[in-house]
Structure 1
Amino acid sequence: MNYQTFQPDSDLASLVKCYWTLEVPAEYPSEKQRIVPDGCIEMAFILGDDIKRFVSETDFIRQPRAMVLGQTVEPFYIQPMGYVHTFAVRFYPYGFANLVTTPISRLANKETPIVELFGQPTADELEQKITHATTTQQRIEIVERFLLTRLGETDTIDAIVKNTVDLLFVTRGSASIQAILQGDLSKRRQLERKFRKQIGMSPKQLGKVIRLQTALKMVLGKTNGTLTQIAYESAYYDQNHFIKDFKEFTGTTPKEILQDDTLILSSLFYAKD
């Protein structure tokens, strides 16, 4: 597997976390891979063979070749159908809402073809340019021109939403709603409504995903320390709380994850994030 990440231009650095590419030869064993939530929204272009996304144990759909992957709150499975070559934009949780008028909550837990978000002519032109480009740098330049154009056409993200997301990242997901609102809980419903529209999940859900990310990186990085220590450093109340959330978002336990072949791809993403 060849997974690489690239940093965005400074004009987009507050919205785009990174660009990434993944290439896997067709002869590589085509196992189901479990993808775990990371709190980010991605716009991805499949440049190789199709990829299945399972909707049940046996049923699947083929992922759109140009799509936006919305927020997820539970793991899902994909399986390559041959040669893997993907180019993608990974947005911060509040980043993608700056580019579309569609409420982000409508994108949650599914893949949305970019044509549904940007219209046929615009989507077709972008996909063709990305597909026909011959280098990653060319694709980055193409998508950055597109993103900067879109920014000039849509509203700016709500400041309280951005500040809340930033605080959740700084506190590893442990900031309480009361702390975020500085004790003014009368604004709670308003914040949660804006969050679902612009982020695609509630502040509490995003906080859980961010906290899990911290712990997952420690586990996958084989950090020395007991599960209790990892739980404490990841801002969990106790080990039981840690294991419960871990299983909810990954589908397995911290002890089992290192031997789980279906998490090879997620491990790769987390290792370089």
Structure 2
Amino acid sequence: MGEGERYEEFAPPESLRPFVRVLWTYAAPSPTGEVQRIAPDGCPELVIDLAAPYEETGEDGVFRPQPPVIFAGQMTRPMAIRPVGPVEIVAARFEPDGARAFLGRPLIEATDRRLDLVARLGGFTAPAGHPAAQATALADWLEEQRQTGAWRLDPAVRVEVAAAERDVDGPVLNPAERRALQRRFRDRVGVAPRTLRSVFRFRRVFDHATGPDADAASWLEAGLAAGYFDQPQMARDFRRFLGCTATAWARDQMELARRLASQTYKRNGTD
């Protein structure tokens, strides 16, 4: 990490664990200002910028500031961001199907979007420079939301999510049952089961990747361990989810993008 840079993860309290996968904090007092590619990881997130929000490039290629509080839905393509000043973040990474009750609307409406939640978190405060206290403050706020909102899960969708993450077959359903489940899945997760399965396979590559000096052979080995058949298949997903090759990403990415890749893609990072 750079001087003063830090990334930390915290397990959520027991009451939130069915919905929230991990709480995390990040700070970079003197970021480089370089563009960073954030890849899909299968989980929606609530992200609160306590310092200077990142800029994000739009479809027109123009960088614009993100709101200081965003809900980032499921991603099916990379997000390009760059810091414009000191960075300090506290965030909640939801389970793939865990944010429906929190958001209060179908997750498909947030796919590949960053929703402005500044008004909703107008009363939220967290102490600067204290990661554990920041994570506790966000956990307390989310727990209040859970209690007042009576959050619930769809058990059938949760089973399908777990099967996708483990890369095993889900329950056998007839065509009508499968179509009904797919509709509920898109409502609660934001993408189709097949897309989520592809994202999970892609992120498993980073469990086996070997760092910034990894060569093409190392990445291929990581891809095969993650479940890819060959290098062209993995390369297609790198272009789809990161917009570049594996070696180019490893060479160019830094700061938040690299911190997330080293932790986000590891399912049991806080265990």
TM-score past 0.5 threshold = yes
Aligned residue identity for 1:167:
A
What residue is the counterpart of 2:134 in the other structure?
139
Q: Which moved more, 1:55-64 or 1:43-52?
A: 55-64
- Does 1:114 pair with 2:104? no
What percentage of residue pairs aligned between the two structures are identical? 24
Separation in structure 2 between the aligned mates of residue 134 and residue 86 of structure 1, nearest angstrom: 10
Q: Which residue of 2 aligns with 1:101?
A: 104
TM-score (norm 2): 0.85
Distance 1:182 1:139 in 2: 43
> How far 1:224 sits from its partner (Å)?
11
Higher mean C-alpha displacement, 98-107 vs 234-243:
234-243
Q: Secondary structure at the match of 1:67?
A: strand
Take 2:194 and 2:114, find their aligned partners in 1: how far apart are those partners? 23
User: In the aligned structure 1, how far is the partner of 2:184 from the partner of 2:240?
Assistant: 25
| Structure 1 spans left out of the alignment, 5+ residues | none
Match of 1:206 in 2: 196
Residues 50-93 of structure 1, C-alpha deviation per residue, up to 9 Å, x if partnerless?
Answer: 31011146412211111111111001211111111111111111
2: CA distance, partners of 1:243 / 1:123? 40
1:253 aligns with 2:251: no
Task: Select the residue among 122, 125, 145 that pairs with 1:124.
Answer: 122
Work out the CA distance in 1 between the residues paired with 2:55 and 2:135: 25
- Per the alignment, residue 260 of structure 2 pairs with 269
8 Å CA contact retained: 1:39, 1:210: yes
Q: 1:2 aligns with which of 3, 6, 13?
A: 6
Q: What residue is the counterpart of 1:77 in the other structure?
A: 80
Matched, 1:13 2:17: yes
Q: How far did 1:263 drift?
A: 5.3
* Structure 2: gaps spanning 5 or more residues: 265-271
Letter aligned with residue 19 of structure 1:
L
In the comparison of the two structures, how many residue pairs are matched?
257
Contact kept? 1:99, 1:154, Cα under 8 Å? no
The one-letter code sitting in structure 2 at the alignment partner of 1:145 is: D
Equivalences for residues 45-60 of structure 1 within 5 A: 45-56=48-59, 58-60=61-63
Normalised by the size of structure 1, how large is the TM-score? Answer: 0.85
Counterpart CA distance in 1 for 2:105 and 2:158 is: 18
* Distance of aligned partners of 1:187 and 1:142 in 2 relative to their CA distance in 1, 3 Å threshold: same
| Residue deviations 1:1-36 (CA, integer Å, cap 9, x gap) | 31111111122122212111111123x321011111
The one-letter code matched in structure 1 to 2:250 is: L
Q: What SS does the corresponding residue of 2:134 show, helix, strand or coil?
A: helix
SS of residue paired to 1:5: strand
* Map of 1:169 onto structure 2: 165
Equivalent AA in structure 1 for residue 191 of structure 2: M
Distance in structure 2 (CA, Å) of the matches to 1:76 and 1:151: 29
Helix, strand or coil at the partner of 2:228 = coil
Q: 2: distance between equivalents of 1:85 and 1:264? A: 12
Deviations for 1:125-171, whole angstroms, at most 9, x for unmatched residues?
12xx23x5663333333322322222232441211111111111222
